[in-house]
Amino acid sequence: MERYDYIFCGGGCAGLSLLYYLLESKWKEANILIIDPAHNEEVNKTWCYWATEPLQIHPKESIISWNTYSLKSGQKKLRKSFKNLNYYHLNSSNFYESIYTKAKTRSNVEFLKDRVIELKEESDYVTIKTEKTGLFIGNLVFDSRISSSHDGNSKLKQLFVGWKIKTQLEAFEPKKMTLMDFRTESSIPFDFFYILPFSEKEALIEYTAYSKNLISYDSLESHLKKYLKKKFEENPFEITYVEKGTIPMSTKQTSYSESDKIIPIGTKAGWTKPSTGYTFYQIQTNCQFIVKRLEENKIDKLIINRKPRFKFYDNVLLNIAHRWPEKLKYVFLNMFGSSSSDLIFRFLSEETTFWEELKILSRLKFSIFLKSLFHYESH
């Protein structure tokens, strides 16, 4: 059996991000194996994050960002701008290609297209059994695999479908994105459209719904079609890219590990923000933390736990989403409208201080939050 310093069970965003930072660390010469059944066949996705400048891992040739955004509901339009932050877009195919290009120049990094079916911890290593290739030994294993039942573990889900379109006539403001457009004309209690314009004629337009039940792709797509037909009735367009997905919304960590040698990462480890579904920025922060601990030889302290108060905030919001989803749009309009953009987005990234959070909370309309606290439960 071949033995490696690090073995990655899963080569998605979390696995490849951690690989990137390892190759930038003092462990860049370590023997590394990445096992993934869909190696080089990843479904294209859109990832977004906010920061003062593009993250180190963001491919320089594919940087797109916005400084102004809006929220819309009926005749109400809230337009906001960042002071120091920008909202960045990254296409997953560009990300994967960048990491693969970097890794393939290193003789100590191997990729295996196979499926991990069993992990077995021994005294000083982990045995990995794959479906086709056989057995491997890893001194440390990072596991980002999501089980087929993962989506079912959460009562509430964020479901979305998006089309990148190209119109014949100018239709968009490239400098301004639409974070939430609640004018959906549907019977779903909480849903919205999300628009990222890349030029005057190109944009990604997504329809998103929060639901306890799975909604078919056809149903989601029908809402998107209706919106586009109304918005571009006299401006023909072509669809150049399609994406869809389901994001579980739960504060309950997906995978716990009492092992110092098998470390869950990514969504499996609860790195997805439960109340919003954003993941990319948190993955980068956590991967850098793990590599720093490895450089300090603190391999017994690689599990990352969220600050309890942010879990509490998420549960308050998720409780509203479960019990009174029709109130959510007013919650978001109130939150984004009552504080500065930089402060709200840092709060969503869980980077604010307790006193900054009190400042945000003091400006909100309390009734629905008090109601949620009275009926508080963990989601």
> Rounded CA gap, 178 and 155, in Å?
28
More confident residue, 303 or 337: 337
Mean pLDDT for the stretch of residues 221-241 = 93
The answer, yes or no, to whether residue 254 has pLDDT greater than 60, is no
The answer, yes or no, to whether residue 69 has pLDDT greater than 60, is yes
How does the average pLDDT of the chain come out, rounded? 91
Rounded to two decimals, the pTM is 0.92
Q: In the chain, what are the domain boundaries?
A: 2-52+92-146+254-295, 155-249, 308-374
pLDDT tens readout for residues 71-119? 999 888 999 999 999 999 999 999 999 999 999 999 999 999 999 999 9
Burial (0-12, 13-18, 19+ Cβ within 10 Å), 96: buried
Q: With respect to CATH, is domain 2-52+92-146+254-295 assigned 3.50.50.60?
A: yes
Amino acid at 131: E
pLDDT bucket at 305, cuts 50 / 70 / 90: confident
The answer, yes or no, to whether residue 151 has pLDDT greater than 80, is no
Q: What integer pLDDT is reported at residue 76 of this predicted model?
A: 87
> Rounded CA gap, 27 and 93, in Å?
26
- Cα 55 from chain centre: 15
pLDDT tens readout for residues 7-54? 999 999 999 999 999 999 999 999 999 999 987 666 678 999 999 999
Amino acid at 215: I
Q: What integer pLDDT is reported at residue 176 of this predicted model?
A: 95
Domains 2-52+92-146+254-295 and 155-249 share a fold: no
CATH class of the structural domain 155-249 = alpha beta
Residues paired with residue 157 on neighbouring β-strands, in sequence order = 211, 248
